[in-house]
Amino acid sequence: MSLEQLNAYCTSKLAELKERGAHRGVEKVIAQITLPDWVRNGRLPTPAEDENFGPRYLLASDEKAYLLMNSNSYLGLALHPKVIAAEEEGVKHFGTGPGAVRFISGTYQPHVELEKRLAAFHGRASAMIYSAAYATVMGVLPALIDEHTLVVSDQLNHNSIINAIRLSHSAKKEIYPHLDMAELERILSTYSSGRNAAGEPEIKRVLVITDGIFSMRGDYAPLDKIVAICRKYEQNFAEGIITVADDSHGVGAFGQTGRGTEEYTRSQVDILIATMGKALGVNGGYIVASAPVIDYLRQVSPFYVYSNPITPSEALAATGSVEILESKEGLARLARLRELTARFENGLTELGFETIPGEHPVTPLVVRDTQQTALLIEYLFQNGILATGLNYPVVPKGDEEIRFQINANHTIGDIDYLLSVLKNFLAHSRSRP
């Protein structure tokens, strides 16, 4: 069968993406990582080592060493020798893949042990792992939303949440402006007394869904306020109000012990979704909730039932990451992450750049101009720094930014070098006619 027509369609759509500035460009291919001894040995740097550089990344396209400022591996655990050793040991014992979905023959002891560990870590009765956090969101939300459900979502929620809601057959969908708690309350109040033509309640269940940390900005949802508002109105709905948070960027990177936005806001939602592919440095996503909810999802969630899980070796590696996170070393890495983030944010402010302050290691440099964002990204690349520019339509016009992400394997030398490059960019920009 000829692909000529489809090729023409795809080519035209690619041209449209480029025209709109939505084309993501060619992916950079990492060919090698060079590690200082302290990273290779699984420790934090000494004061003297902190003045030098951390890991450097070599691309397949050239031989230059780059500072990676756009990784989600916030604690640096993807390069930790204990995590690597756990995965290697898992491969030796269980092979490279599970070989089947969970309910056939793909459930291994490391999967079960990891789920127990994650449930305990978050203070929940039960947990369930998926192949990715995106798959978790897509597998969970449609299973909990039906034709009598009102879904209420933050305006800046992640793409996975947006698409999961689109796949769901909800009665109604409402979106409140980012972090606007007054509008959230207004929505719940409005629907509390809503009835259909037969006089029956139009909405039986409400599902309020939010990111914990918003990945483009590094700010957080006030889960304590969200939970309080939902409790205020839950008695008005026959099946109550379910609060759900996807804290993929928060777990392992936010809160004193790395338990994310729930810990930071001193609250707990009904259902928490997170990932092992960011701060834990491995792969996969998961949900923690009550035992009946997890038991139900194991039976009906297609992204669980019909998709292979992470490998047993990945499960062992993720368990190793959680063990590190819960140890003194984990607390030290979290403290270091906060210190490096504060150093960078303060440096940006001193240089006159706009940012969104906060403890989370996602630190945006708000440019508010597409052309300037592109120029700065290219300047950083020329100076050996890999960073991510976010332009319209990924972000609204006027909100263009560069998203920097700090991790515990960065050094003070890395942060100061990045700030010096940004300072030089300002000088070059001012000297241009």
Q: What is the DSSP string of 224-254?
A: HHHHHHHHHHGGGSTT-EEEEEE-TTTTTTS
Determine whether 313 is an active site residue.
Answer: no
| Full DSSP string of 61-128 | T-S-EEEE---S-TT-GGG-HHHHHHHHHHHHHH-S---S-IIIII--HHHHHHHHHHHHHTT-SEEE
Q: Which residue among the candidates 168, 215, 248, 301 is catalytic per the annotation? A: 215
Q: How far apart are CA 330 and CA 324, in angstroms?
A: 5
Choosing from 148, 158, 249, 360, the catalytic residue is: 249
How many Å apart are CA 154 and CA 161, to the nearest integer?
10
Of the residues 80, 122, 158, 278, which is catalytic? Answer: 278
Strands 65-68 and 385-386: parallel
Compute the distance between CA of residue 310 and CA of residue 299 in angstroms, rounded to an integer.
Answer: 18
Residue 261 contacts by C-beta under 8 Å, 6 or more apart in sequence?
212, 213, 220, 221, 223, 245, 247, 250, 254, 255
139 in Cβ contact with 303 (< 8 Å): yes
Extract the tokens encoding 239: 């099946």
Active site residue 93: no
Question: How many CA atoms within 13 Å lie on the side-chain side of 413?
Answer: 15
**DSSP code for 360:** S
CA distance to 77, 111, 127, 129, 131, per residue, from 102 (Å):
27, 9, 14, 10, 11
Check: CB of residue 230 under 8 Å from CB of residue 184.
Answer: no
State how far the Cα of 17 lies from the Cα of 9, in Å rounded to an integer. Answer: 12
Q: Cβ neighbours of residue 13 under 8 Å, at least 6 residues apart?
A: none
Cα 275 to Cα 260: distance, rounded to the nearest angstrom = 12
Is 215 in the active site? yes
**For 185, phi and psi rounded to 5 degrees?**
-65, -40
Helices (H), 366-411: 370-382
Active site residues: 215, 249, 278
